[in-house]
Amino acid sequence: MDKAAKHTSAWADAATGQMHPARSHEVHARVRSFSRAGGRLRASQHAALERHGDSYLVQVPRRDAVRTVDPDFVLDPQQVFGRSAPLIVEVGPGGGEALLAAAKANPDTDFLAVEVWETAIAKIVSAAAAQKLDNVKVVPADASQLLATALPVGCASEVWTFFPDPWRKSRHRKRRLVNEAYAALVARVLAPGGVWRLATDWADYAWQMRDVVEAVSAKGLFDYPDAGAHPQLGSDTWVEGDKGNGPDPGSPRGVMGGWSQRFSGRKLTRFEARGIAEGRTIRDLTALRTNQKLAPALIESREVAQREVAQPETGVEGA
């Protein structure tokens, strides 16, 4: 096959077996929060997907490339899970340690994992099957597109964004998942009173997250009950600076506070434990969805909603 043919032919998604059209120039131009969605699957992971994929994977019609979402696709949680139950959506769960532990502890709640990495998808499917969990589903898709168009408005009781890739280099920070556009999409899928939970072990990303939560709270989409809380969590950044995680010169160095108590429903994963062992501070944030109506673009026009997002996708460092 010549080079031109390679760039125009369809190809198969290793995780789902779906065929996808070749990437267009538009797809290459998107700002993503991860570099590749691939990864070599072990034979056991391939076998797990073959054996249990039909039970745990949600097949998503693609727009123009892997992990994209056809804007006409609607994911009905009640149909997917076969019941009406509270729904928790985790964006970028990695191998699913926290999500699977929560699903096992809360059988009356449904958990939707939105993940792009094939190896992580395989880990979640394999572990969910081994534990015989029937309240877990995995969506191999770009979270920004899924939240913008596929999930119904107000369908989720919680959205989790734990330890997204910090994209440490300054020139890569545009790839960070958490920004105001993403926050608006989280608001779109949360029911009034729903909870958005965030956590990171990277100081300047924590400050960025806090700035985002403050901004969308000022616009009335969320309540921010912990504004100003726990300012002592900003006093140890010099330690993190020694490890290459120094403060952003434009930040208030964390002393403004705004941090929540660690979410007790999040299992201490290997990744979080490693961050603590390496001297990094874990910072949690919590925002509560208000009753404020969404902007019409987030409800009425799927195409507009997608264009307004900077097209970040999921991805968890160290998953």
Can you list the domains of the chain with their CATH numbers?
A: 3-308 (3.40.50.150)
In which element (H, E) is residue 203 found? Answer: helix 203-218
First to last CA, the chain: 35
**Catalytic site residues?**
165
CA distance 252 to 204: 10
Q: Known binder of ligand: residue 270?
A: yes
**pLDDT greater than 90 at residue 305:** no
Q: Known binder of ligand: residue 73?
A: no
More confident residue, 72 or 310: 72
The model's pTM is 0.81
Q: Known binder of ligand: residue 211?
A: no
pLDDT tens sequence across 235-254: 655 445 444 455 544 455 55
Q: Known binder of ligand: residue 62?
A: no
CA separation, residue 153 to residues 10, 77, 94, 184, 316 (Å):
32, 11, 25, 12, 25
Q: Known binder of ligand: residue 165?
A: yes
CA distance 304 to 301: 5
**Which pLDDT band, with edges at 50, 70 and 90, does 47 fall under?**
confident
